[in-house]
Structure 1
Amino acid sequence: MLFHYCSLDTLLKILKSRKIWLSDITKMNDPEEYKAGFELVNSQFKNAFPHAADWLNDNHYLSDQTEYLLLACSFSKKGDDLDQWRAYGENGAGVCIGFKKSILERLNDTLIRPEGNLIDGKVRPVMQILPLIYSIHELKEKAKDILLQFKKSDTNKNAFGDDMLFNEYILGAELSELAAAFKKSFYESEREQRMILSLHRGGKLVGVNAFTAHKPVEIDYRLGGYGITAYSNALVSDKSSSAIASITLGPRNTESPTEIKYMLNALGYKNVEVNTSRGHYR
């Protein structure tokens, strides 16, 4: 189960739209977190390809030289947690939504990278849910694995020239997404998992060769706490199933669980457990 802490207003928007926002990762609470992960990944790239030391700096998703976006939505493995309530749940006045991870993934796996990834060649969804990495050593090892597989490929012989090769797009994507899955060990207690979507600012999926004619992913903009923020949507429900399994009212939330149940029923959500937090404070 994955848990998402939010306000009552956000809960209503999620339930009515049957979607959840993925927002520009640079406009999240800690604007330095992608930068920290990228610098560690980039150091491994420079070690592996010293003759092309500036390539990743120019071609990662958030480089000034590119027009890519990394969109993300944060979840936690911890439900009804005091620290999460205080940091992300309106200081306890909000709600904690419990999602079934397998259904959330299935609802959003329609677009895949059919050519597979660099590590094992397996196809994978463009939209992924990744457990965050809190260890510098683990991040470096994962970066080394990706770079080693790229070195073994035939593409490597002609890489980093004037013309961008397709596998280079995949390399840039995987290293950027890896950087986006890193967070400083200070936050390890949050046990965060992050839904990530990487795409071009025009909505075109990056590095997806077989989808050159696909319908662009819809990108919109909203005014958030950190300025104008690009975002897209992930489905949480369709006609046949819903990923929403539970709603917990926060320690300072004064709404009635019965009222929430009536609302869920009116909006077509079945078998959602509604309860109140185990804690209370003012």
Structure 2
Amino acid sequence: MILYHYCSNETFLSILRAREIWASELSLSNDRMEGTWLGGVLSDLCDKHGIDVADKARLLSIFDNVVSFFGAAGFCLSEEGDLLSQWRGYANDGTGVSIGFSSEYFEALSKILGERGNISFNLRKVNYDLEAQQNNLKIPVEKIVEFLEKGAFLNPFGGLLFQPTEEEQKRYTKAFGDLNSLLMSMGFEMFQMKNPAFKEEMEWRLVSIVLRGTKENLSDLTRMEYRSAADRIIPYRRFPLLSLSQKPIQEVILGPRNITPERIIQGALVRFGFSDVAVTTSKSSYR
């Protein structure tokens, strides 16, 4: 499968010259709800499963605290290589390009980086379907209900009117620990779900988890690269485009406002070691 990355001409040449891609912190993307959509889906499911207001509030507070330790560096792709909204939003208002990468290449690269002990990534398709999102969380939420019933939110040390037995104390403590572990595992899913309003993007992502600990030795942020944008500083990770049996770049599509002749793009690709790449021009009507 070919997956397309929309970018400016400057970014395109940077990828060719360095033979690498940059996965940037997704929480600093154009989508203000990036990484937070999962919390809303979880809230709705709590209501459907009859979790009372106080327990729900505490649950969502714990979830927010847990997931605050997780970020993700992402390299965004689309199934569609000639989409007007993508040209406008991500390719310098249609003057850039969309680069058609091989999904099979990325799968192979991920495996090799992992085997070498390097920081790697996973290729994931973004889920925009609310019903499917809720179905994916059905079993975890049922487990949450189970942990609450086992006393996850009960005080293991009791109170003035209630003194649990030693066995009950152990059960409450274990249920609370299991609940936190479950919420942490759910946190890894938060960058694979998006608002259905973005479904036109047909997005896939290379996702690399970033730990945001409060101490330096717990935080990946101290080991990342940084770049500037107009109104923000963005952490990112570099991933090399290693020479493998598959070719990384299969196609390049020139944006509807990119006036570069196709032969120039072909020349640049060959100059930097990317051969047999199809080059075409967008058929989108741009105003």
User: Which residue number corresponds to residue 59 of structure 1?
Assistant: 66
Q: 1:231 is matched by which residue type in structure 2?
A: Y
Per mean C-alpha deviation after superposition, the further-off stretch among 138-147 and 264-273 is 138-147
Q: Where does structure 1 differ by over 6 angstroms across 4 or more consecutive aligned residues?
A: 149-152, 202-206
Partners of 1:24 and 1:216 in 2: CA distance:
10
Provide, for residues 242-279 of structure 1, a one-character-per-residue CA deviation record: whole Å limited to 9, x for no partner.
31111111111011211111111111112111111224
Q: What is the aligned counterpart of 1:75 among 71, 74, 77?
A: 77
Describe how 1:51-200 pairs up with structure 2 within 5 A.
53=59, 54-60=61-67, 63=68, 66=69, 68-110=70-112, 127-146=121-140, 158-161=174-177, 171-172=182-183, 174-200=185-211
5+ long unaligned stretches in structure 1 = 114-124, 207-214
- 1:266 matched to 2:271: yes
Cα offset for 1:233? Answer: 2.3
Whether the 8 Å CA contact 1:252–1:280 is kept in 2: the answer is no
How far off is 1:234 after superposition?
2.9
CA distance in 2, matches of 1:191, 1:78: 7
CA contact 1:143–1:178 (8 Å) conserved in 2: no
8 Å contact from structure 1 (residues 134, 185) kept in 2: yes
> Which runs of 5 or more residues in structure 2 are unaligned?
147-151, 153-170
The Cα shift of 1:160 comes to: 3.1
Choose from 233, 248, 253 the match for 2:238.
233
Amino acid paired to 2:62: W
Given the superposition, is the C-alpha separation of residues 35 and 102 from structure 1 closer, same or farther in structure 2, using an over 3 Å criterion?
same
Displacement of 1:83 in angstroms is: 2.3
The verdict on how the C-alpha distance between 1:204 and 1:187 changes in structure 2, with shifts beyond 3 A counting, is farther
More helix by share: 2
Against the structure 1 CA distance between its residues 237 and 48, is the aligned structure 2 distance closer, same or farther, given a 3 Å change threshold?
farther
Question: Identity of paired residues, percent?
Answer: 27
2:31 counterpart residue number = 30
- Gap change, CA 1:23 and 1:48, over 3 Å in 2: farther
Q: In the alignment, is the contact (CA less than 8 A) between 2:212 and 2:221 conserved in 1?
A: no
Contact 1:48/1:147, CA 8 A, preserved across alignment? no
Deviations 1:66-112 (A, max 9, x none): 3x322122111111122221222222111010011011121122466
Give the secondary-structure state (helix, strand or coil) at the position aligned to 1:73. Answer: strand
- Post-superposition offset of 1:56: 2.1
Aligned partners of 1:251 and 1:277 also within 8 Å: yes
Query: Residues 48 and 107 of structure 1: is their aligned pair in 2 closer, same or farther, counting only changes over 3 Å?
Result: farther
Distance in 1 of aligned mates of 2:18 and 2:93: 25
Q: TM-score, normalised by structure 1?
A: 0.75
Matching residue's letter, 1:160: F
Q: Which stretch has the larger CA shift, 3-12 or 27-36?
A: 27-36
Aligned mates of 1:178, 1:36 — CA distance in 2: 10
Alignment: residue pair count: 251
Tell me how far apart the structure 2 counterparts of residues 251 and 111 of structure 1 sit (CA, whole Å).
36
Is the 1:69–1:199 contact (alpha carbons within 8 Å) kept by the matching residues of 2? Answer: yes
Contact 1:205 1:216 in 2 (8 A): no
Q: 1:7 and 2:1 equivalent?
A: no
- Over the aligned positions, Cα root-mean-square deviation in angstroms equals 3.5
* 1:80 counterpart letter in structure 2: D
CA deviation profile, 1:110-144 (whole Å, cap 9, x unmatched): 4669xxxxxxxxxxx96222211112221121122
Q: TM (normalized to structure 2)?
A: 0.73
Cα distance 1:146–1:12, how it changes in 2: closer, same or farther (>3 A)? Answer: farther
What is the one-letter code of the residue matched to 1:40? V
How far is the alpha carbon of 1:40 from its aligned partner? 1.6
SS for the counterpart of 1:4 is strand
